C-alpha cells in the first residue's frame, strides 16, 4: 500500500499508561492552556472534552480539523494522553498527513494518524506470523487485472475497461458491506441499489475473483480490513495487545464509515469508550461505495452519556453563500435533513450568489470562461485579483468537462483537471479518435459509413463500431460515463456540421486533433475542473457550479427518495466549497438553436430569485440570462396510473411511472417497429430518427384515433405529424398504412432531448 511504512510492534512502555477515569480533573499547565488560545467556545469545548465518548457534529468550514487536533494536543500536553496511545483515523492519506503536520506543530508529534486501511495493514502485517504463520500475503494495489481475468473465465470474453470499473466497484461495495457473492443479488434489492449489469453475472465474477486471489496468495484493500477483523475476532490475545497499545481513538469524517470499518473500530475499542467521532451527515455523498451516516446519527443512542458538541460557526464562506447552503438543506427530507446543522457565517459580507441561465451549453461554458477572466484581473488593475488556483468549475459527471476545457482554452485561461482524465486522454475517446481517423482515410470505402449522409451521421456510424448506441445504457457507473463521453463527440460533430455544413469527416478529425493539442498544453497553476465528488474536502475563493438541470443534478438514475437526497447533499457540498464568489448556472438546450426543453435543477426551486420551493416553472425573474428565447412554462406531468408527479424523461413521455403497469398493445408496438424499420430504410436514416422506441411505446399505450390525440404524445412534433401521422393512425386502427409519396424526403431527426 502506497505511503505505508514498515510495521512496528506496539510500544511496550505504552502498556503502563492506563486511561484516565472520566471523573478525573485535569490540572492543565500553562503549556496545555496555550493550546486552547484562539479557539471559539465550541472548539474549546471539543478540545477540553478528553474523556468518555465525544461526538462532534461539524458543519462545512467550521474548523473541525483545528478542533480535534487541538483536543489531542491538549490531552497530550496536559498529561492525560501519551502520544503513542492515541490513534487518529481519517479517510485519505492527504487528510492524515495534514493532521499529522498540525499535531507536530502543536507538540503532539508522537500521535499515530492513519487511514483505516493503513492502520489495519500495519496490524495485519505485524500479527500475521503469530496468528496464521509464515509471511503475510502480498497486497494487490490494483485489482483490475484480476477482475478482468475472473470476468474472462466467467463470461468467456473480455469486458471493456468501463465495464470492469463497474464490476470492480460492485465487488468493493459488497466487501465493505460484508456481503458474500452468494448474497450479492438479494442484497442489491434490500439496499435499493441499482446494479450496472446483470447481478448474477457480477456475483459469478465476484466469486471467481475471490478464488483467484486465494489460489495466488494475494489480498486486496478490502481484504486488509476483513482479515484484520477476523484476526481480532478470533484471537482475544491479539485484540488485547492492540488495546494495550491504543487507548484513545479519534475518527474524522465519521459519516463516511462503512459497516466493515465500524466493526473494526469496535474491535479496537473493546469495552472502552475513549472515542471521539467527527462528522456531518449532510456531507454523506459516498453511499454508492458503502458509506453510511447511520453510525453518526445513531451515536447518541448507542452512547447515552456522550458529550455532543456542534460546530456551526462557518469560517470559510460569506453570509451569502452560507444562507444559500442552509436554504438548500432546509428543503431536504429524511433523517439526514432532520439532523442538519444551521451554519452561521463568521466572515464579512460578500457578493450574492449568481444564478445564471443560458440558451445552450456552449453559451454557458463561454459565460463561465468570461467571468473567470474577469475574476483573474489583478487588483492593481481594478479587478478582483482572484488567482487561477483559487477558482473551480464543478460538474456532476466527468463527461461534462470537455466543453469547459475548450471554453477555457479558447479564453486563454490555464486549467487543470482533478480526479478525472483529460477528455481526449480517456480510453474511449482515444479509441473513437482512432476509428474516426481510419474511416476518414478510407473515405467511401469504409462499410461503416454506408447509408450515413451527413457528417453527424458518419460520426455516429463510426462510433457505433466502438459500442456507441443512440440510446443511453441502463443504470449508472462507468458504462454510463463512457456513453456520455462518446455522446459528447456526436454532439461535437453536430455542432461542427452546423457551423460548417460542407465539412467532411476528415475536417472533423482535424478539428479533434487541434482541440486535443490545444488542451494538452502543460498548466502548473490553473482553474480547477472537477466533479462534485472529487471536490469533497477542498475549497476555493470562487466556485462555478455548472450544468444544474434536472436529469443531471439530480442525475437521471437517482430514483429513490434516498438517492435524490444524496444528490441534494452533493450540491450542498459544491455550494460549501466556495469562500466568496459562487455562480450556479444551467442551459435550456444542448446546442445553439436546439429546443429549450430543459429545466433548472429542482434543488434550486425556492433559492433562485423569483422561484418558489417545489416550483417547476420556467426561469424566474432575477436570474441572469445569457440570451436566447424564453422558455414556455409547463406544468408538472402526473402518472396516469397512480397520480405521482413524474420527473424522469422516459416516464414523462409515457405519462406513467416505470413501476406502474403498462397498457401497451404489444401487437401494435411490433407493427410500429416493423413499419419504422421499413421507413428508415427508405429514408436512409437511423430508425430512431423516425421515432424513438419510447415514442413508439407511448403510441402503443395511448392508441390514438385522431391527429390531435397523436399530436399530444411527446416526441410527435408537427414535422413528424405531417410526414408520418396518417401512416401511424392507420396502424393504430389495424389498417395497412398508406403508401407515402414523400418517402424520398429526409425525415427531420427528433430533438436530442427526446432521444431517450
Which cell is 360 given? Answer: 445552450
- The pLDDT value recorded for residue 276 is 94
Per the listing, cell 430533438 goes with 751
Domains detected in the chain:
37-132+246-311 (3.40.50.300), 141-219 (1.10.10), 322-418+521-625 (3.40.50.300), 424-519 (no CATH), 666-754 (1.10.150.80)
- The pLDDT value recorded for residue 68 is 92
Q: Where are the beta strands (DSSP E) in 486-592?
A: 527-531, 540-545, 578-587
Give yes or no for a contact between 42 and 311, defined as CB atoms under 8 angstroms apart.
yes
Q: Report the C-alpha gap between 294 and 103 in whole angstroms.
A: 29
Give yes or no for a contact between 292 and 284, defined as CB atoms under 8 angstroms apart.
yes
Which residues does residue 331 pair with via DSSP β-bridges, in sequence order? none
What are the b/e assignments for 412-444, b being 16+ CB within 10 Å? Answer: ebbbbbeebebbbebebbebbbebbbebbeeee
Q: Report the C-alpha gap between 271 and 283 in whole angstroms.
A: 30
Q: Report the C-alpha gap between 693 and 701 in whole angstroms.
A: 12
Q: Encode pLDDT of 638-670 as tens digits.
A: 777 777 766 565 666 677 777 777 777 888 888
Sites in the chain below the pLDDT cut of 50:
1-28, 476, 518-524, 616-622, 628-635, 740-756
The continuous run of DSSP H or E covering 90 comes out as strand 86-90
Pick the closest to residue 526 from 700, 393, 661 (CA basis). Answer: 393
- The pLDDT value recorded for residue 127 is 92
Report percent pLDDT > 90 for the chain.
26
Torsion angle of the four alpha carbons 615, 617, 621, 625, in this order, in degrees rounded to the nearest 10: 120
- The pLDDT value recorded for residue 27 is 43
Among the residues of 443-551, which ranges form H helices? 455-464, 478-499, 505-519
Return phi, psi of residue 699, to 5°.
-65, -45
Helix (H, G, I), strand (E, B) or coil at 248: strand
Q: Is the peptide bond before 554 cis (omega within 30 degrees of 0)?
A: yes
- The pLDDT value recorded for residue 444 is 62
- The pLDDT value recorded for residue 410 is 82
Question: Could you report how far apart the first and last alpha carbons of the chain are, in Å?
Answer: 43
Helix (H, G, I), strand (E, B) or coil at 116: helix
- The pLDDT value recorded for residue 30 is 58
Give yes or no for a contact between 550 and 649, defined as CB atoms under 8 angstroms apart.
no
Q: Report the C-alpha gap between 628 and 597 in whole angstroms.
A: 13
Give yes or no for a contact between 706 and 731, defined as CB atoms under 8 angstroms apart.
no
- The pLDDT value recorded for residue 572 is 94
DSSP classification of residue 421: -
- The pLDDT value recorded for residue 620 is 36
- The pLDDT value recorded for residue 462 is 87
- The pLDDT value recorded for residue 739 is 65
Question: 180-187 contacts: CB < 8 A, separation 24 or more?
Answer: 181/206, 181/207, 181/210, 182/207
Q: Encode pLDDT of 323-346 as tens digits.
A: 999 999 888 888 887 888 889 999
- The pLDDT value recorded for residue 422 is 61
Determine how many CB atoms are found less than 10 A away from the CB of residue 37.
8
Total-model pTM = 0.64
Q: Report the C-alpha gap between 99 and 112 in whole angstroms.
A: 10
Q: Report the C-alpha gap between 358 and 549 in whole angstroms.
A: 11
User: Strand 307-311 vs strand 645-646: parallel, antiparallel, or unpaired?
Assistant: unpaired
**How buried is residue 619: exposed, middle or buried, by Cβ count under 10 Å (0-12/13-18/19+)?**
buried
Pick the closest to residue 519 from 601, 409, 419 (CA basis). Answer: 409
- The pLDDT value recorded for residue 476 is 45
Cβ neighbours of residue 554 closer than 8 Å, sequence gap 6 or more: 563, 564, 567, 568, 601, 602, 603
Amino acid at each position: 500500500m502506497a505511503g505505508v511504512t514498515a510495521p512496528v510492534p506496539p510500544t511496550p512502555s505504552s502498556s503502563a499508561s492506563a486511561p484516565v477515569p472520566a471523573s478525573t480533573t485535569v490540572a492543565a499547565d500553562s503549556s496545555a492552556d496555550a493550546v486552547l488560545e484562539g479557539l471559539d467556545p465550541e472548539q474549546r469545548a471539543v478540545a477540553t472534552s478528553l474523556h468518555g465518548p465525544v461526538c462532534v457534529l461539524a458543519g462545512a468550514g467550521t474548523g473541525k480539523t483545528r478542533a480535534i487536533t487541538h483536543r489531542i494536543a491538549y490531552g497530550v500536553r496536559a498529561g492525560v494522553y501519551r502520544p503513542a496511545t492515541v490513534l487518529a483515523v481519517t479517510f485519505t492519506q492527504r487528510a492524515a498527513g495534514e493532521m499529522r503536520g498540525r499535531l507536530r506543530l502543536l507538540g503532539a508529534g508522537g500521535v499515530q494518524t492513519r487511514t483505516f486501511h493503513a492502520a489495519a495493514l500495519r496490524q495485519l502485517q505485524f500479527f500475521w506470523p503469530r496468528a496464521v504463520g509464515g509471511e503475510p500475503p502480498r497486497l494487490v494495489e490494483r485489482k483490475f487485472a484480476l477482475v478482468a481475468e475472473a470476468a474472462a473465465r466467467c463470461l468467456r470474453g473480455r469486458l471493456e475497461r468501463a465495464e470492469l470499473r463497474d464490476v470492480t466497484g460492485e465487488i468493493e461495495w459488497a466487501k465493505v458491506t460484508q456481503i458474500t457473492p452468494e448474497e450479492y443479488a438479494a442484497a442489491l434489492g434490500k439496499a435499493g441499489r441499482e446494479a450496472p449489469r446483470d447481478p448474477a453475472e457480477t456475483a459469478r465474477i465476484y466469486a471467481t475473483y475471490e478464488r483467484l486471489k486465494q489460489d495466488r496468495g494475494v489480498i486486496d484493500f478490502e481484504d486488509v480490513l476483513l482479515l484484520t477483523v477476523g484476526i481480532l475476532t478470533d484471537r482475544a490475545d491479539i485484540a488485547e495487545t492492540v488495546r494495550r497499545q491504543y487507548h484513545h481513538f479519534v475518527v474524522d469524517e465519521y459519516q463516511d464509515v462503512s459497516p466493515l470499518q465500524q466493526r473494526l473500530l469496535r474491535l479496537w475499542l473493546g469495552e472502552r469508550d475513549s472515542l471521539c467521532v467527527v462528522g456531518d451527515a449532510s456531507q454523506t455523498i459516498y453511499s454508492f461505495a458503502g458509506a453510511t451516516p447511520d453510525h453518526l446519527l445513531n451515536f447518541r443512542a448507542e452512547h447515552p452519556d456522550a458529550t455532543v458538541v456542534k460546530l456551526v460557526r462557518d469560517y470559510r464562506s460569506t453570509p451569502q453563500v452560507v444562507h444559500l447552503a442552509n436554504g438548500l438543506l432546509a428543503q431536504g427530507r429524511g433523517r439526514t435533513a432532520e439532523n442538519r446543522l444551521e451554519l452561521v457565517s463568521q466572515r464579512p459580507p460578500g457578493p450574492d450568489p449568481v444564478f445564471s441561465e443560458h440558451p445552450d451549453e456552449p453559451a454557458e461554458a463561454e459565460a463561465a470562461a468570461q467571468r473567470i477572466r474577469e475574476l483573474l484581473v489583478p487588483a492593481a488593475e481594478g479587478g478582483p485579483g482572484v488567482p487561477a488556483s483559487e477558482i473551480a468549475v464543478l460538474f456532476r459527471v466527468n463527461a461534462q468537462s470537455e466543453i469547459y476545457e475548450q471554453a477555457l482554452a479558447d479564453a486563454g485561461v490555464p486549467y487543470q483537471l482533478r480526479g478525472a482524465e483529460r477528455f481526449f486522454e480517456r480510453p474511449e475517446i482515444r479509441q473513437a479518435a482512432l476509428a474516426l481517423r481510419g474511416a476518414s482515410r478510407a473515405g467511401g470505402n469504409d462499410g461503416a459509413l454506408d447509408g450515413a449522409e451527413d457528417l453527424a451521421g458518419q460520426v455516429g456510424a463510426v462510433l457505433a463500431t466502438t459500442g456507441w448506441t443512440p440510446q443511453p445504457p441502463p443504470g449508472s457507473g462507468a458504462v454510463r460515463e463512457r456513453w456520455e463521453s462518446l455522446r459528447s463527440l456526436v454532439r461535437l460533430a453536430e455542432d461542427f456540421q452546423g457551423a460548417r455544413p460542407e465539412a467532411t469527416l476528415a475536417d472533423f478529425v482535424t478539428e479533434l486533433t487541434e482541440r486535443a493539442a490545444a488542451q494538452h498544453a502543460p498548466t502548473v497553476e490553473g482553474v480547477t475542473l472537477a466533479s462534485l465528488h472529487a471536490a469533497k474536502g477542498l475549497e476555493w475563493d470562487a466556485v462555478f457550479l455548472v450544468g444544474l438541470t434536472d436529469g443531471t443534478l439530480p442525475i437521471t438514475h437517482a430514483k429513490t427518495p434516498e438517492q435524490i437526497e444524496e444528490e441534494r447533499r452533493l450540491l450542498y457540498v459544491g455550494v460549501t466549497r466556495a469562500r466568496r464568489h459562487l455562480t450556479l448556472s444551467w442551459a435550456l438546450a444542448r446546442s445553439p438553436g436546439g429546443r429549450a426543453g430543459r429545466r433548472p435543477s429542482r434543488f434550486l426551486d425556492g433559492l433562485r430569485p423569483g422561484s418558489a420551493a417545489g416550483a417547476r416553472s420556467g426561469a424566474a425573474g432575477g436570474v441572469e440570462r445569457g440570451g436566447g428565447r424564453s422558455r414556455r412554462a409547463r406544468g408538472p406531468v402526473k402518472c396516469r396510473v397512480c397520480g405521482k408527479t413524474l420527473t424522469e424523461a422516459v416516464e414523462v413521455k409515457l405519462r406513467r411511472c416505470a413501476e406502474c403497469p403498462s397498457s401497451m398493445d404489444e401487437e401494435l408496438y411490433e407493427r410500429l417497429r416493423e413499419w419504422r424499420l421499413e421507413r428508415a430504410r427508405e429514408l436512409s436514416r437511423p430508425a430512431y430518427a423516425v421515432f424513438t422506441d419510447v415514442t413508439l411505446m407511448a403510441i402503443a399505450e395511448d392508441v390514438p384515433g385522431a391527429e390531435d390525440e397523436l399530436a399530444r404524445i411527446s416526441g410527435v412534433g408537427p414535422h413528424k405529424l405531417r410526414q408520418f401521422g396518417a401512416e401511424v393512425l392507420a396502424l393504430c386502427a389495424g389498417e395497412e398504412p398508406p403508401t407515402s409519396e414523400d418517402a424520398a424526403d429526409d425525415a427531420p431527426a427528433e430533438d436530442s432531448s427526446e432521444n431517450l
